[in-house]
Chain A
Amino acid sequence: QSALTQPASVSGSPGQSITISCTGTSSDIGGYNYVSWYQQHPGKAPKLIIFDVTHRPSGVSNRFSGSKSGNTASLTISGLQAEDEADYYCSSYTTTNTRVFGGGTKLTVL
């Protein structure tokens, strides 16, 4: 049950786009389309922003998009806004019926 691999930090200026990668294995990301992404602001509970690799829950901005290729998933945030500054976590279902999270990526909006 090793954690998925994410970059520790990314940054971008308002209006720009950034992409956060999330690398796993064929036992998790590569094995299922059950990849999800979460946004967490300091002191708050995580919020689901992407499920099933590419789908956005109702109410989540269409500036957030997800994709997957092989064992790597990606989250792209376009038109960066100050409110997007937060920690982002990927997660996947696994072949042992467990879930695994990535180590998290801190997004700084410059």
Chain B
Amino acid sequence: EVQLAESGGGLVKPGGSLRLSCAASGFIFSSYTINWVRQAPGKGLEWVSSISSSSLYIHYADSVKGRFTVSRDNAKNSLSLQMHSLRAEDTAVYYCARDRDEWSPDGLNIWGQGTLVTVSS
């Protein structure tokens, strides 16, 4: 079964750091761009970051640029999101999501179950 599974969420103080992980299974992980998408409690979806199959192309939303770093290990079928200088507004469920197509950004068809990050003192 094609799956993504996030882990690493939790409670962190403002200004703190946290590292999220995303484990993939059931597909050729090294062929696909993977994205991070977050959803604040009761709010809509916000795209956070994407990393291409070979890590050659990495992009961030302005709201996290300079604070978050995405990386992947294709040998381990895993993805990470390192988050620094966390703010209250970063509180959200974080999803990793796979591009539907290997070659174009036409939609995210595989999503994990999400992991909750709470930034609070």
Interface size bracket, B side? 20 to 34
Once the chains bind, are A101 and B46 in contact (CB under 8 Å)?
yes
CB-based contact B61/A104 at 8 Å: no
Instruction: Give how many A-B residue pairs fall within 8 Å (CB-CB).
Output: 74
- B88 an interface residue at 8 Å Cβ cutoff? no
Q: B45 near A89 (CB under 8 angstroms)?
A: yes
A99–B108 CA distance with the chains assembled, in angstroms: 11
Question: Which chain A residue shows the least CB distance to B113?
Answer: A45
Name B59's contact: one of A46, A57, A87, A97 (CB within 8 Å): A97
Number of interface residues, chain A, beta carbon within 8 A: 28
Which residues of B102-119 have CB atoms within 8 Å of chain A's CB atoms?
104-109, 111-114
Please tell me if the beta carbons of B108 and A36 are within 8 angstroms of each other in the complex. Answer: yes
The residue in A50, A93, A102 that gathers the most chain B C-beta atoms within 10 A of its C-beta is A93
B47 touches A91 (CB 8 A): yes
B68 at the interface (CB under 8 A from A): no
Q: How far is the CA of A3 from the CA of B108 in the complex (A)?
A: 17
Query: Are B107 and A52 within 8 A (Cβ)?
Result: yes
Residues in chain B within 8 A of chain A (CB atoms):
35, 37, 44-47, 50, 57, 59-63, 95, 97, 100, 104-109, 111-114
